[in-house]
Amino acid sequence: MALPVFEALADPTRRALLDRLRDDGPCSLTVLADDQPMTRQAVSKHLDVLRDAGLVTAWRQGRERLHALRADPLRAVDDWLAPYAAAWDERLARLQQHLEET
């Protein structure tokens, strides 16, 4: 798993863009910029970071350029985090058992 994915996910604006693409499917820059408190140019730069990290793909459709989520890098992050989540689940289960016994 590459560092650019984590760098891309570290920014709340980029996470919001990914959420929008997840919920709405492919969108144009204009649509993505509509609910962001920044210029279209700033949103475009965020999309460039997401594209460089492999989290977004883009293509031309007529006069517009559409952007879509690519979930594969997120699956790799989830796979990497799974053992940590399991360890926390185990710790919390032991804490719950301890609390119920006392």
CATH code of the domain covering residue 23: 1.10.10.10
For residue 48, give Cα distances in angstroms to 53, 70, 86, 102.
Answer: 9, 14, 34, 54
pLDDT of residue 82: 93
Q: Please state, in angstroms and rounded to a whole number, the distance separating the CA atoms of residues 25 and 44.
A: 17
Predicted confidence (pLDDT) per residue in 12-36, tens digit: 999 999 999 999 999 999 999 998 9
DSSP-derived secondary structure letter, 13: H
Give residues with Cβ within 8 angstroms of 14, minimum separation 6: 8, 46, 49, 50
CA-based nearest residue to 55, from 98, 97, 20: 20
Whether 1 and 11 have beta carbons less than 8 Å apart is answered as no
pLDDT grade for 51, boundaries at 50, 70 and 90: very high
How many structural domains comprise the chain?
A: 1
**Full-prediction pTM beyond 0.85?**
no
pLDDT of residue 1: 54
* Residue span of the structural domain in which 34 resides: 3-101
What letter represents residue 46's amino acid? H
